[in-house]
Structures are given as C-alpha cells and as structure tokens.
Structure 1
C-alpha cells in the first residue's frame, strides 16, 4: 500500500473505533506513557493538542502541568513547513488556527529545541522500526531531523503495520506506546 492509501485506511479505522474502546485504550496508553522513564525524567514535554479521532492529549497536557513539567505545543508555520513550539500554562493558551488545529497564541514564549526533553509525535500508522505516516505535511520529520531528545508516539495497536513505507527524509520515533 502507498502512504496515501494507508493514511486513508487508518483514518477510517480511527473513525469507526467504538467510543468505549477508544476511552479504554487511551487510558491504558496514558498510564504507560506517564509511568515511563522518558516521561518521569523529562522537565519539558512537547506535544500537539489532539482533535477529532486522534488519541487524546488534553489529559496528558493537564497531567504534565500538574506534575510540574513545562509543556510546549507547536504552531505550524506553513512557509517552510516548520513547527515552532511555544510554552503554555493551560489549554486556554491555545486558539484555533492552521487547518483548524488548536495552537498556542503566537506571543507566548518559544521553546528552543535544545530545551525539549521529550516529544510526543503524532501519527496515523507506524512500522516496527518507528517510522510513521502522519497527516502529510512532513512538519515533524523536519523538526526531528536534528532533534536529540526522546521521541515517543502513542498509537492504538491496529495502527502498527507490517507495511514498508519509509522514505529517505522520514525520521523514526524511538518508542511507540500502545494499549497492549
């Protein structure tokens, strides 16, 4: 399968996942993630604000803030297709913007890449080597190209695929957390 077909297939599976399973699986993934060494040792965590059928990150953002961690979320800069992470104090620091995403207010302090200990990388499909199919813009691959900290993706187990789809510019994540 090509990336476009895999992306569409996974979007349909996410849409059709029963709400009860989504809640149970997400809870299990969150528990694994927040008890991981990477999470525990991180002072600054970067993650997107989830929407739609993505694995929820709202709870994780609140958890990180209540744990005393610094949280930064990205703004998409369409020119150059780059991510700029800004520190937030709460989800109220985000506003609807690019592609209907919730992104931080542009005046908020920018987090330097070297300050970020852990990046929770979104995706739709994942290979066993940590390569991912995202939403098609290549924003995270550009950001991760010279990032040296930890990277984790959250996925439902059905998002893991045996398909080979990595391309030369793709950057794998170091770990994938599922409900299993």
Structure 2
C-alpha cells in the first residue's frame, strides 16, 4: 500500500469506528472504562512513576477523569496535553481537574495558561488515547499526528487504552506511527516491548 492508500484506509477505518462508538451501550462503556482504570492503577510502572502523562478524555473516549483524580490523590505529578498549532502539543502539570482545565482546541479540556510546562523527559508513563488500536500496539489516532510527534521525545512507557468493542486488527501504519508498549482494554493488558 502506498502512502495515499494508507491515508485513505485510515480515514475509512476512522469513519467505521466513529459509527461503532455511537452504537456502544453506555453501561458497557462505563464498565469497560472502570476495568481499564483498574488495570492502569495495577501496573508496577504506574506505582513506581513520579510523573504520569495522561490525556483528558472527550465523551467518546475511555474516561480518564476519575483516573486523573486518583493519580492526583496518589501524589503523582500529572501532565496533560495542550495543543497549539497544527500537530503540536506540550504537557502541563495540573493539580485539579476543576481548577486547572478549560475548554481549548476542538472543545477538549486543556490546562490553563497558569499551569507549568513539564518536559516529555520528565514522565515515566504515558496514557495515550486512540480512535482505535490493535492488540499488537498499532494505534489509529484522529489524524493530527499530535501524539506521534510528541511521544517521540520521551522514553516513557507508552500505554494505549481502548475498549475491546472498537479494537481492530486491520490498522495500517506509516513510518511515523509510533508503536505502543502496552495495550490496555477491559479484557486485559498486552505487554509488547
């Protein structure tokens, strides 16, 4: 497959996954998200980490709001992304979901300007979102390339979270697509590297 064909295939799969997400049962999603949260908290890498990077979930994604609250309660330094410009993002430390976040790019909650930037070298674990992913760690993002560019700058363990019902094994990859180290769904944890 050539580069244009891969891009077209990714676009096609994104559209299919978007429809599948709309059809997910609310209770299934809630229970799956709870199991995913428990799996993350059980990771030895989470327990050892001082600083954790975690995306702030949108309605359709695996819910990270309770996860972030637990991380803060556990005394972790929590870094969340803020986008600025095409394909560019940085991470900023938050101490409270309520006080430190505001709607930003595309309505996604992002850290306020008053939050301090954290460099990617400082975190040991990164919790990464996806549109979909495969059990072998191929990630289908939303098409902006934000996470591939940003996570390329860190040695942190990259853990992708996805509900089993929207996982796919036919995700094509391009050279710039970063493989993940862990895949976490409600069915378990796949350690890849």
* Pairwise TM-score range, normalised by the shorter structure: over 0.9
Question: Which sits farther off after the overlay, 52-61 or 152-161?
Answer: 152-161
Q: Give how far 1:107 is off.
A: 2.5
| Structure 1 gap segments, 5+ residues each | none
Using the TM superposition, give the Cα deviation of residue 127 of structure 1 relative to its aligned residue in structure 2, in angstroms. 2.4
Number of the residue aligned with 2:96? 90
CA drift at 1:145 = 1.7
Residues 1:5 and 2:12 are matched in the alignment: yes
Contact residue 120 and residue 151 of structure 2 kept, 8 A: no
Query: Which of the residues 167, 174, 179 maps onto 1:167?
Result: 174
Length, aligned pairs only: 179
Local SS of the residue matching 1:32: helix
Q: Which aligned segments of 4 or more residues in structure 1 are displaced greater than 2 angstroms?
A: none
TM-score (norm 2): 0.89
Q: 2:45 aligns with which of 4, 17, 38?
A: 38
Structure 2 counterparts to residues 1-180 of structure 1, below 5 A = 2-79=9-86, 81-92=87-98, 93-180=100-187
Structure 2, unaligned runs of 5 or more: 1-7, 188-193
Cα deviation for residue 159 of structure 1 reads 2.8
RMSD: 1.3
